[in-house]
Amino acid sequence: MKKRKLIWKLFPAYLAITLFSLAVIAIIATRSVRDFYYASISAQLESFAHLVDQQVANRFSEFTIDELDSISIRLGELTSSRITFIHPDGMVLGDTDRDPLEMENHADRPEIAAACTGKKGVSIRFSPTLKSNRMYLALPIVHEDDLVGVVRVSRSVEAIDNALKQVYTWIFLGGILIAVLASISSYLVSRRISKPLVDMKEGANRFAAGDLDHKLVVPPTEEIGQLADALNEMASQLRERISTVTSQRNELEAVLSSMVEGVLAVDINERILRMNHAAGRLLNIDPVKMKGRSLPEAIINPDFLAFAASVPGSSENREGEIVIGDGERYLQAHGTHLLDAEGEEIGILIVLNDVTRLRRLEKVRRDFVANVSHELKTPITSIQGFVETLRDGALNDPKDAEHFLEIISRHTDRLNAIIEDLLALSRIEREVEKNDIPLERGSIRKVLQMARQNCEPKASAKNIAISLKDTKDTQSMINAPLLEHAVTNLLDNAINYSPEAGEISLDVLTEGGEIIIEVKDHGCGIGTEHLPRLFERFYRADNDRSRKLGGTGLGLAIAKHITIAHHGRVSVDSIEGKGSVFRIHLPVHI
Amino acid sequence: MPKEAILIVDDEEDILELIEYNLSKEGFRLHTAVSGEEALRIAREELPDLILLDLMLPGIDGLQVCRLLKSDPDTAHIPIIMVTAKGSESDVIVGLELGADDYVTKPFSPRILLARVKAVFRRRTALSDEDESSPIRYPDLIIHPDRFEVLLEGQPVDLTATEFRILEYLARRPGRVFTRDQIVDAARGKDYPVTDRSVDVHIVSLRKKLGIVGKQIETVHGIGYRFREL
């Protein structure tokens, strides 16, 4: 439907009402004016007629036509009206303006007919004789109860018609003026009504455009004022709601983005609704770019896609593990159905936990169990195997027997050494846990000297010189026997991996708030790939060689744990073929 | 007739010596390797009749050696006995599925190792002698694959198709351990869907139906099943 301006609705109504009322008033007014005029004329005519009647009644029948005609002319001139005498049979006997003989029979005239029955007859009509609108009034002339004739008095009513015509012209002109005034006033009124509405429309448009701080001016009109108040109220409530929603969304956003766990919401069409930074980081994708993308498009990891696909079909929460890259990262995934407020399913929610550290620790533990079992099983296999071999007949060959017994003895020693080291290690660990290791001020130099002394026989067997450089007598809070054990282990290692007649240096440095005990060899060195795991229990960079050299695989682990008991740390640098430097870092002040 | 050649792989020299001493007493020809790389090289050059493979090796580990040998057509036929410390059942399962014939856990008795070696050789000879439809004979049990019939002490036993296939598969290879997956693959046959856990159900049912002979079907804890030799 075409929308029209308010003025085009108001104006025709205005105009119609004013013109209608004007017309009604004009009609009523002219009619009453005319009626009044006619009434007064008729009263005048009647009084003339009575007068004439009285004059002529007694002798009416005695007058001749000429007498009557001259009477009518004389009286007509006196009263400036036309007077006609008519015989009851309709013949005109005398007339002011015309010769009675020329006039037709007047019996059919309504006023005459009425007068012939003895009553007063009045009629207003066009007189063909005088060519004008006239009012006729006729009275019977009665003499001694006999109707002897009729006297008719008439006067022109043209004057009133002309006056009324003038009035109609004025009314018409007034109507035009009123129409103009009506259009002006309806324009003004419609403006007055529509202006605040237009203002409000603009205000509402601003609200719609999001400018809720805008205030509508409240117009003085009650209804529109209430509307403006209502709109303002609505805007302020909207503003409040929006600010609540915004702050809630910001809170949610903040919670999601500061979560360590990855959170990913996907709709039923597998489009990403939301994902936090952690999810992006864990899955190696940019969370901002991925919003609205489909899952298979955004994430290529097959584990993840398989997991996500399994969630919608399952009746309960799903759990799964996702491997990113080639074991670069392990994620634990929880999948649940995403429900809206009505409990209608709108997608799925996946929460990701980084369990890489856990998996690595599990691997270290698994490796440890496998390693312990391997390290212990190897000597036991040798011992059990050779004992059985001896029983099965090898005893009969003294040379074999001697050789086998020697192997058995060697493996017994090794088993013993491993058990000793394991016990030492678990004791140190337990004591570190309980903070049960007493530290007291002591000379590090003395500890190094003792360690060197411990290793002297083994070193001189390989012709290895151990130099001790510490010139200052550095003191620190130490547990001398334990630290000696740690340094001895490092020295023993260095001797094992040094060539015949090699050199090992033992040094103490103070550097960067740390006391560093350094054991440096010029042996075969260790591959870089082994360095991070070197201090793990039973970790062997070179399985074959180290076992042959009599290590238990626990020496470095023990050194590390003793250092931890001293609130320090261990480190290693190595160049393959050039040698290695093992360091014990102790804090200067505890 | 020259005795079979055996490749012994172990990074521990004393254990190598132990195995060498005991196998050489039986007259086998022996090769030794102390690393995975060396084992692969010798296996390809010498094509031994059997490999005793320690799974814990420096460098290329034992499972990898097993995988490489079984995927090489030249060496795929060589039976492998894995030698491993206990506590690594998952490795054993992987090894068996890669096609290793048997496994021995450390510490092992040299006598038992010898018995396993001999059993593998015996199975090889037996398998090459017979075809898939020849009857399998044990003292109280005869299986006729062609007739789809099992006689227990001369009396026919009523078995389901899956039970029959599992029994035939295990009994034809006595002493050898099979993982549940391997049994599933063998028993699946034409149209029988079998999951690895349902293998347990079939085995329980088989044991019940076979009475005293059923005890020959042994559970190998953590690994699978085997048909015990008498």
pLDDT band at B193 (very low <50, low <70, confident <90, very high): low
For residue B52, which residues of chain A lie inside 8 Å, CB to CB?
none
* Inter-residue contact A234 to A241 (CB < 8 Å): no
* Interface touch B11/A394, C-beta < 8 Å: no
> Distance between terminal CA atoms of chain B?
27
Give residue A501's pLDDT: 87
Give residue A45's pLDDT: 85
CA distance to A122, A129, A156, A548, per residue, from A126 (Å): 13, 9, 9, 158
* Interface touch A388/B106, C-beta < 8 Å: no
* Interface touch A381/B108, C-beta < 8 Å: yes
The residues of B whose Cβ lies within 8 A of any Cβ of A are 11-15, 17-19, 21-22, 34-35, 56-58, 85-88, 106-111
For residue A388, which residues of chain B lie inside 8 Å, CB to CB?
109-111
Give residue A164's pLDDT: 81
Measured in angstroms, the CA of B217 and the nearest CA of chain A are apart by 28
Give A413-469 pLDDT, tens digit per residue: 989 988 998 899 888 888 888 877 888 888 888 899 999 999 999 889 989 989 887
Average pLDDT over residues A192-204: 80
Which amino acid type is present at position B23? L
Collapsing DSSP to helix, strand or coil, A351 comes out as: strand
Residue among A369, A547, A548 minimizing CB distance to B87: A369
**Interface probe, candidates B12, B54, B103, chain A, greatest A C-beta count within 10 A:** B12
For residue B19, which residues of chain A lie inside 8 Å, CB to CB?
385
Cα atoms found within 13 Å of the Cα of residue B210, Cβ hemisphere only? 29
Give A381-399 pLDDT, tens digit per residue: 999 999 999 998 888 888 8
H or E segment to which residue A420 belongs:
helix A398-434
One-letter-per-residue 3-state SS of A487-508? HHHHHHHHHHHCCCCCEEEEEE
Is the pLDDT at B198 greater than 70? The verdict is yes
> Distance between terminal CA atoms of chain A?
90
Is the pLDDT at B88 greater than 80? The verdict is no
* Interface touch B109/A377, C-beta < 8 Å: no
Give A102-113 pLDDT, tens digit per residue: 888 888 888 888
Q: Which residue of chain A comes nearest to B113, CA vs CA?
A: A385
CA distance to A200, A511, A539, B199, B213, per residue, from A557 (Å): 81, 24, 9, 45, 53
Collapsing DSSP to helix, strand or coil, A9 comes out as: helix
* Interface touch B106/A410, C-beta < 8 Å: no
**Interface probe, candidates B18, B19, B61, B114, chain A, greatest A C-beta count within 10 A:** B18
Task: Indicate the angle between helix axes A6-57 and A65-79, nearest 10 degrees.
Answer: 130
* Interface touch A382/B14, C-beta < 8 Å: yes
Residues A34 and B140: their CA atoms lie apart, in Å, by 148
Strand order in the sheet with A121-127: A92-95, A82-86, A146-156, A132-143, A121-127
Give B120-174 pLDDT, tens digit per residue: 888 777 666 566 677 888 888 888 888 888 888 888 888 888 888 888 888 888 8
Give residue B126's pLDDT: 67
Give residue A390's pLDDT: 92
Give residue A179's pLDDT: 79
**How many residues are there in chain B?**
230
Residue among B21, B56, B108 minimizing CB distance to A389: B21
Residue among A385, A540, A548 minimizing CB distance to B18: A385
Measured in angstroms, the CA of B163 and the nearest CA of chain A are apart by 33
Give residue B8's pLDDT: 94
Is the pLDDT at A531 greater than 60? The verdict is yes
Average pLDDT over residues A473-485: 88
* Inter-residue contact A470 to A487 (CB < 8 Å): no
Give residue A548's pLDDT: 62
* Interface touch A392/B111, C-beta < 8 Å: yes
Would you state the structure tokens that stand for residue A252, as one six-digit string?
A: 């949610």
* Interface touch A380/B106, C-beta < 8 Å: yes
Average pLDDT over residues B70-80: 89
Question: Looking at chain A from residue 535 to 574, which residues have their Cβ under 8 Å from any Cβ of chain B?
Answer: 540, 542-544, 547-548
Give residue A559's pLDDT: 92
Structural domains of chain B ordered from first start:
5-128 (3.40.50.2300), 130-227 (1.10.10.10)
Which residues lie across from A330 on neighbouring strands? A323
* Interface touch B58/A542, C-beta < 8 Å: yes
Is the pLDDT at A312 greater than 70? The verdict is yes
Mean per-residue pLDDT of chain A: 84
Residues A100 and A257: their CA atoms lie apart, in Å, by 125
* Interface touch B11/A544, C-beta < 8 Å: yes
Q: Which residue of chain B comes nearest to A404, CA vs CA?
A: B18
Residues A470 and A127: their CA atoms lie apart, in Å, by 160
For residue B62, which residues of chain A lie inside 8 Å, CB to CB?
none
**Number of neighbours of residue A131 by Cβ within 10 angstroms:** 8
Average pLDDT over residues B52-80: 88
For residue B24, which residues of chain A lie inside 8 Å, CB to CB?
none
Residues A420 and A427: their CA atoms lie apart, in Å, by 10
* Interface touch A377/B57, C-beta < 8 Å: no
DSSP label at residue A109: S
* Interface touch A381/B18, C-beta < 8 Å: yes
DSSP string, chain B: -PPPEEEEE-S-HHHHHHHHHHHHHTT-EEEEESSHHHHHHHHHHH--SEEEEES--SSS-HHHHHHHHHHSTTTTTS-EEEEEESS-HHHHHHHHHHT--EEEEES--HHHHHHHHHHHHHHHHHHHHS-TTSPEE-SSEEEETTTTEEEETTEE----HHHHHHHHHHHHSTT-EEEHHHHHHHHHTTT----HHHHHHHHHHHHHHHTTGGGGEEEETTTEEEE---
DSSP label at residue A92: E
* Interface touch A373/B86, C-beta < 8 Å: yes
Is the pLDDT at A309 greater than 90? The verdict is no
A407 touches chain B (CB under 8 A): yes
Question: Looking at chain A from residue 345 to 404, which residues have their Cβ under 8 Å from any Cβ of chain B?
Answer: 369-370, 373-374, 377-378, 380-386, 388-389, 392, 394, 400
Nearest to A445 by CA among A504, A510, A489: A510
Residue among B34, B87, B107 minimizing CB distance to A370: B87
The set of long-range contacts for B92-95, using a CB threshold of 8 Å and a minimum separation of 24, is: B92/B223, B93/B179, B93/B181, B93/B223, B93/B224, B94/B63, B95/B55, B95/B62, B95/B63, B95/B66
Residue among B18, B34, B106 minimizing CB distance to A389: B18
Q: What are phi and psi of B223, to 5 degrees?
A: -120, -60
For residue B58, which residues of chain A lie inside 8 Å, CB to CB?
540, 542-544
Mean per-residue pLDDT of chain B: 84
For residue A370, which residues of chain B lie inside 8 Å, CB to CB?
56, 85, 87-88
User: Tokens 């079992």 — which residue?
Assistant: A373
Nearest to B189 by CA among B161, B170, B167: B161
| Beta carbons within 8 Å of A382's beta carbon, 6+ residues apart | A407, A408, A411, B12, B14, B15, B18
Is the pLDDT at B190 greater than 60? The verdict is no
Measured in angstroms, the CA of A417 and the nearest CA of chain B are apart by 17
Nearest to A157 by CA among A228, A235, A82: A82
**Interface probe, candidates A372, A377, A407, chain B, greatest B C-beta count within 10 A:** A377
Q: What are phi and psi of B140, to 5 degrees?
A: -110, 5
Is the pLDDT at A285 greater than 90? The verdict is no
**Number of neighbours of residue A493 by Cβ within 10 angstroms:** 23
